[in-house]
A and B are shown apart, each in its own frame.
Chain A
Amino acid sequence: MTTADEARERAAEFKAVFARVKAEVAKMMVGQEHVVDGVLTAMMAGGHVLLEGVPGLGKTLLVRSLSEAVSLAFSRIQFTPDMMPADIQGTMVLTETAGGGHELTFQQGPLIANLILADEINRATPKTQSALLEAMQERQVTVGRRTIELEEPYCVMATQNPVEQEGTYPLPEAQLDRFLFKLVVGYPAEDEYHAILDRTTGADEVDIQPVTNGEEIRSLRNTVRSVAEPEAARTFAIRLVVATQPDNALAPSSVAECASLGSSPRGVQGLILAGKVQALLDDRFAVSTDDIRAVALPVLRHRILLNFRAQANNVSSDELVEDVLKSVKPPHAVAA
């Protein structure tokens, strides 16, 4: 077997597992195909996902279904305003020993798992939200003098409601930057409501079977990272990211006027990794500028901090990303 054949096999395996997981999730989740694809892409690329949508659209259901399909350690954290960092990281608790004695032992928080559903993450205080920073970036939790390495695959999937702003705390930029994707969950189409009613109001129960495990997902993540990245795709991703920075010469006028902060280097990493997943799904072994373009919106939309002018003019970060995509041309591009 040549090296190229090995690559082909790994790519085929990746695509097959991806399709299996997607099919299992689709048993429960009706529609929202781009959201499902985004969540799976982020999980395969090794990133975290922020799901934003109004209540009742199946954000929590999606993550819960995914946890059942991938056979990973799953924990759900319902964020509340009175939650403290120790509630999710863990703390020392006094326990009684078998001999009748007592001892202080470390009680792990729900953050220590493989797949984390951080539900309504913006309802917790920034103090508690900050407890996620170390876990999301460095894959470890430090409590006191104890540092706990988190097991791979580790994926945080957070949800937030953009409408109810009363009693919520917007996520700090440092935490937003740690999410690979921000996916906006919209309303289902009219014909999808029938399937939703069939699956939720009927007597039949949907049974989701695990189709993969953590070991396989770790292997698939290595496959993703092995995808070749040509210079053109890399240059295009870098140009896209620097074009979101308002002081950069590549930034379009709308970004210069309406953005106060642009994407960090994490944005380039996210573009390339997510683009590699897209290339594998498209039966290619090298990422292209089209792949970068396809994932630019979910990767960059939450990394652009809008200023007061943008808020006053009702300019969204999605529009700024669209402007960036229009203004930045791929290298060596020709108009056919």
Chain B
Amino acid sequence: MAERDTEPAGIGADLDKVVLRGRQRLRLWAAKEALAKAFVHAFAAALVVPCLALIGNLAGLAGPSLWPFAPMATVVLAVVAPLVIVAVYALVVILREKTDRRVCLALFDTLLDLKGRLQAADEFVSRGPSGPFEQAAVEDAAPFAQRALDTELPAVRTPPPVLRARRWPLGAVSVLLLAAAVLLGELPPITGSSVLALADEGAAGLPAAAETALEESTEPPLPKDSSRRSLDGQRPTDPSQGDSQGESERAARSQSGTGDARSSSAKSSKAASLARQAGKAAAGASGEGSSKQQPPRERPAKPRKENKSRPEETKQEQPEASKGVSGGTGRSSGSRTSASDQAAADDKARNDEDEGDATDDADEEEDEEQKAASASKPMLNNRKAAVDRSLSPSGLSDQENEQANGRGGPSGLKKTRGVAAMLLGVPMPDHLRGKSNPGRIKVERERAEPEPKTSLAANAADRGSRRESIGYLPHPALAPWMQETVRDYFLAERARDLGDLARADSTPNTTD
């Protein structure tokens, strides 16, 4: 039993001290737990500054930079920001931690294996002990409260930081983003006019275009309409005229159903085709040697499509192209020498090659037509033959299911349905040989005459009368004294119900 030398009045103060001690311990514990858990968010928090810096620097390529910090400051921010976020998260968790008084006492009950003595005593003290056992419980807890105050608590171990492997790539991504942001911040801003100038130069001279861009980077950006004109290589002399032309072009493009992005790609492809034609013309001008040394030509990806979608542009380009080709021919004819046969053979070979190109172009044209048709019938392009759903037994051949699309399975074994599907692809005949039933039943009939049978039934009158005693037969009715007893019993019970219990109990239900 517990010691009794402790004053019960002092246990309230002891319990308060225990609660204070427990609360400090639990807060420290909660802080460490919160810091450990906050590391989960550190990787996500590390993405914030690099993302903002990258977005700001990307926006600064086309105009004034939105990211105001220098690269070194960006790196410092990227390192500090996760730490700040982790610290704020932990602080919020700690501030929201409300340690209950009973939890503080339960901590010592658990640590010292006190079987809830401190919690019970605190409850009884707070409401006032109402019985001897509650009073005894309070007194019993007093030495244990002192023991809780004197006991050195084990150190709160720092939990390992919660690191999830799924979040580790976020750290690498944040480093990459930070590097990209810093590199972008180092680049000078590129204005819109410089970009347009790059497109204007086209494939003819990329380094020159880069130089032009660098030169024009200091100039103020041009208006939009002028930049759009410069894509076509024509500078509008009159702004109003340029506006009207731009309006008509936009209208024509919208009628042809192409977007801005598509038209820009068309422009680039057009420039590529022009470059190719120019190269072809140059090859014609350089003669056979140069034509033989030419590497296989690289065709632009889809030039025909752009030509079909934009017929007026094709018409504008046609004279230039024909001019280039004819110019090449004129030069070749002008340079005809004694080796004209050889040149003619080379021309023939070149023509054959051009014919081959034309055949390829025709095939591509067919593809383009098919794709154009697929625009009006979107599912027509991907249409395939329906799955074979015949119920005939299959799978007897070793051929793979060519129409395997997930419905019938990769092989023909699973296509069959119904009873045949249960045979697991084992070839079986439709019916078994042999006797399927017992056959016809032979019925034979015989004629039999009825035969008379002698009866052994006796006459009832011949039985006679009983000669001996039948024995004891109990009468179904009770004996008279028994009937009297039962009747008296129930009468007595009824009398007792009527309230005459004393007389009914005193009167014996006896019969003589």
Contacts and interface: CB of A to CB of B under 8 A. Distances in A.
Contacts of A289: 116
Nearest to A288: B116
Interface string B102-126: 1101110011000111011001100
B1 interface: yes
B119 A230 contact: yes
A104 B509 contact: yes
B135 A286 contact: no
Contacts of A290: 115-116
Contacts of B103: 332, 334
B418 interface: no
B189 to A, nearest CB: 58
B485 A102 contact: yes
Contacts of B111: 336
Given A104-B509, A284-B115, A333-B110, A7 B135 contact: yes
B208 to A, nearest CB: 73
9 contacts: A4-B136, A4-B139, A11-B133, A12-B1, A103-B485, A230-B120, A285-B136, A332-B106, A332-B119
A284 B123 contact: no
B134 interface: yes
Contacts of B117: 284, 286, 288
B441 to A, nearest CB: 48
B157 to A, nearest CB: 11
A99 interface: yes
B136 A230 contact: no
A332 B109 CA distance: 11
A288 B486 CA distance: 59
Contacts of B105: 332
Interface string B1-16: 1100000100000000
Interface in A274-316: 282-286, 288-291
B133 A103 contact: no
B289 to A, nearest CB: 85
A7 B136 CA distance: 7
B107 A334 contact: yes
A318 interface: no
Shortest Cβ-Cβ A-B pairs, 6 listed: A101-B510, A288-B116, A7-B132, A3-B132, A7-B136, A285-B137
B89 interface: no
Q: Chain B interface residue count: which class?
A: 35 or more
A100 interface: yes
Given A101-B508, A283-B1, A332-B106, A232 B116 contact: yes
A278 to B, nearest CB: 10
Contacts of B508: 97, 101, 103
Contacts of A4: 8, 132, 135-136, 138-139
Contacts of B2: 283
A99 B106 CA distance: 75
A286 B106 contact: no
B200 interface: no
A8 interface: yes
Nearest to B109: A288
A97 B510 contact: yes
Residue among A232, A283, A334 having the largest count of chain B Cβ atoms under 10 Å:
A334
Interface string A1-30: 011101110111000000000000000000
Among A103, A233, A285, the most chain B Cβ lie within 10 Å of the Cβ of: A285
B459 to A, nearest CB: 48
Contacts of A283: 1-2
Nearest to A99: B510
A331 B102 CA distance: 9
B429 interface: no
A226 B133 contact: yes
B246 to A, nearest CB: 69
Nearest to B106: A332
Contacts of A11: 1, 133, 136
B134 to A, nearest CB: 4
A334 B486 CA distance: 72
Contacts of B140: 284-285
A233 B109 CA distance: 13
Interface in A81-129: 94, 97, 99-104
A232 B102 contact: yes
A226 to B, nearest CB: 5
Contacts of B489: 103-104
A194 interface: no
A233 B135 CA distance: 17
B388 interface: no
